[in-house]
């Protein structure tokens, strides 16, 4: 126990030393270049949905890399709120605080909890600054936002649940769905910078479901022939946060047209193409549900 506490204390001291040294270096550099964008904090309209703005995040209890990613997410959130005139939920920021997985969470905020009001289509970091004195990380970014047309249908809802919230590497994911209206369903799993379509797939091609009918994915017939969706850890990792997004549409959403077959019989979709396609769907034609799960070895 004593050795564990000593190791944690040593690790904390190393991180603080790196932040202090890096912060001092950046402070010296700040005198040589114009960092007025940190103080200015204005949102500039660049046209065609593009904005230039700052994002920031605390360095407390996180690495500089994680703080940078959180600052980028903050810039995305601000751009969405400015463009769409709505407040973006902080759920994605809370999720990020629970994990060190940067890629998955950075992509998740671009797709999750936003398609009802707006979507971040692209983002570019122009400049960044680590303030070691105040333990704050800043980024100057360009963010492109798109917005769906129309108004949401409040009577169109879909709910979903997993067979469990925590999985051991190799365990099977099983999903239960229910919609208030007849619709077409796509189930996406976000991992390592890509979106994998769990449903529909090679073995379950019909993704139309009836109103108020509970369905299981995979169903008993599919499981009988060996169809499974294993919760798999990326190579070299001991734990991972998985993100599943369920999209329901009143008309067929040809998500697999943008896809390529993977070895598991699912489809892999490019983020940018997927976001653009979702943007074309009117608000009253789509509803969503998000799920999170943990994988450990």
Is 0.85 topped by the overall pTM? Answer: no
What are the tens digits of pLDDT across the range 58-92?
Answer: 999 888 988 998 899 899 889 988 887 765 554 44
What are the tens digits of pLDDT across the range 180-205?
Answer: 999 999 998 876 656 788 898 888 88
Do the beta carbons of residue 103 and residue 193 sit within 8 Å?
yes
**Per-residue DSSP letter, 43:** P
Do the beta carbons of residue 247 and residue 175 sit within 8 Å?
no
Report helix, strand or coil for 289.
strand
Going by C-beta distance under 8 Å and a sequence separation of 6 or more, which residues neighbour residue 2? none
Percent of the chain having pLDDT more than 70? 73
Highest mean pLDDT among 144-148, 234-238, 249-253: 249-253
Of the candidates 215, 287, 201, the residue with the CA atom closest to the CA atom of residue 251: 287
CA angle (284 as vertex; 272, 117 as ends), nearest 5? 50
CA angle (190 as vertex; 198, 111 as ends), nearest 5? 110
pLDDT given at position 173: 92
Query: 45 is written with which tokens?
Result: 């309209």
Relative to beta strand 286-296, strand 208-209 is unpaired
pLDDT given at position 10: 47
Half-sphere exposure of 38 (CA within 13 A, CB side): 17
pLDDT given at position 290: 87
Q: To the nearest whole number, what is the mean pLDDT of the chain?
A: 78
What are the tens digits of pLDDT across the range 201-222?
Answer: 888 889 999 999 999 999 999 8
pLDDT given at position 62: 87
Q: Is the pLDDT of residue 11 over 70?
A: no
Nearest-angstrom CA–CA distance, 281 and 115: 9
Of the candidates 255, 293, 271, the residue with the CA atom closest to the CA atom of residue 101: 293
- 158-296 belongs to which CATH class? mainly beta
Q: Which residues are bridge partners to 158 per DSSP?
A: 179
Nearest-angstrom CA–CA distance, 120 and 275: 8
What are the tens digits of pLDDT across the range 19-54?
Answer: 444 444 444 443 444 678 887 778 999 999 999 999
What are the tens digits of pLDDT across the range 106-117?
Answer: 555 555 544 546
pLDDT given at position 246: 93
Half-sphere exposure of 258 (CA within 13 A, CB side): 18
Of the candidates 170, 154, 165, the residue with the CA atom closest to the CA atom of residue 244: 165
Nearest-angstrom CA–CA distance, 192 and 178: 28
**Per-residue DSSP letter, 87:** P
pLDDT given at position 182: 97
């Amino acid at each position: 126990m004593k050795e564990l506490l000593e190791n944690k204390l040593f690790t904390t001291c190393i991180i603080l030393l790196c932040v202090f040294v890096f912060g001092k270096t950046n402070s010296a550099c700040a005198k040589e270049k114009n960092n007025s964008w940190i103080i200015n904090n204005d949102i500039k309209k660049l046209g065609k949905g593009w904005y230039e703005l700052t994002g920031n995040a605390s360095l407390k209890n996180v690495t500089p890399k994680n703080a940078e990613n959180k600052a980028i997410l903050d810039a995305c959130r601000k751009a969405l709120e400015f463009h769409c005139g709505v407040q973006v939920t902080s759920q994605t920021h809370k999720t990020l605080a629970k994990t060190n997985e940067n890629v998955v969470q950075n992509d998740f905020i671009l797709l999750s909890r936003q398609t009802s009001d707006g979507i971040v289509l692209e983002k570019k970091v122009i400049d960044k600054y680590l303030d070691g004195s105040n333990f704050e990380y800043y980024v100057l970014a360009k963010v492109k936002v798109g917005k769906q047309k129309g108004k949401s249908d409040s009577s169109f809802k879909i709910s979903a649940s997993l067979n469990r919230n925590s999985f051991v590497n190799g365990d099977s994911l099983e999903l239960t769905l229910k919609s208030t209206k007849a619709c077409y369903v796509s189930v996406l799993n976000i991992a390592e910078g890509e979106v994998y379509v769990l449903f529909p797939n090679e073995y379950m091609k019909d993704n139309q479901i009836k109103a108020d009918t509970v369905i299981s994915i995979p169903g008993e017939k599919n499981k009988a022939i060996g169809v499974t969706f294993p919760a798999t850890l990326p190579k070299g990792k001991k734990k991972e946060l998985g993100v599943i997004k369920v999209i329901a549409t009143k008309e067929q959403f040809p998500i697999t047209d943008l896809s390529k077959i993977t070895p598991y019989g699912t489809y892999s979709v490019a983020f940018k193409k997927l976001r653009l396609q979702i943007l074309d769907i009117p608000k009253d034609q789509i509803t969503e549900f998000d799920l999170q799960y943990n994988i450990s070895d």
